[in-house]
Amino acid sequence: MPDETAPAPVAPPAVGDAAPDATLVATPGNEPLTLSEVWADGPVVLYFYPKDATPGCTTEACDFRDRDAALAEARATVLGVSPDPPASHEKFIAKQELPFRLLSDEDKAVATAYGVWVEKSMYGRKYMGVQRATFLIAEGGTIAAAWPKVKVKGHADAVLAALADLPSA
């Protein structure tokens, strides 16, 4: 039986939908970043992950880091989103030498808007958390591809393949 305190699930945006816009604190710099300003200049790889410095999240971030040149060639901006505060993001970026910004969604509003703030279960205990997911947002703000339940292995390559399929601007 679902937790009575769990909010009603929000469906993630589908391919062809307008991407939800938001302004979040971006690290490094701890300055506000508005998603629509970023996707106005080219495609955006917006990936949601549960927590800085955990094994799966570190692997995923490093896979995107290791493909930085190919992502840049595709004109893509990579943005990671988690509920962690900017100070946690600063440490994670420094330790893993991440070349992209991480966004703090401490109130989970953006994760909710993208349908990735969900009820999870571990060892029979139910709790709310971020479902690992990625959205490829085409220049202009339309969802071009979506991976609602990411398995880390091979994911960054799948994103690169989807980027290659986007029409040139």
Question: What's the pLDDT tens digit per position in 122-144?
Answer: 898 999 999 999 999 999 999 99
Q: Which domain holds residue 53?
A: 27-164
The total number of structural domains that make up the chain: 1
Residue 14: inside a domain, yes or no?
no
Instruction: Read off the pTM.
Output: 0.92
Q: Does residue 151 surpass a pLDDT of 70?
A: yes
Active-site residue set = 57
Residue 7: inside a domain, yes or no?
no
Residue 3: inside a domain, yes or no?
no
- What is the Cα–Cα distance from 155 to 93, expressed in whole angstroms? 20
- Domain of 145: which CATH number? 3.40.30.10
Residue 20: inside a domain, yes or no?
no
Residue 107: inside a domain, yes or no?
yes
Residue 149: inside a domain, yes or no?
yes
Q: For residue 5, what pLDDT band results from cuts at 50, 70 and 90? A: low
Q: For residue 93, what pLDDT band results from cuts at 50, 70 and 90? A: very high
Specify the range with the lowest mean pLDDT, choosing from 5-19, 88-102, 148-162. 5-19
Angstrom CA distances, 132 to 30, 32, 66, 69, 70, stand at 23, 23, 19, 23, 22
Average pLDDT along the chain: 93
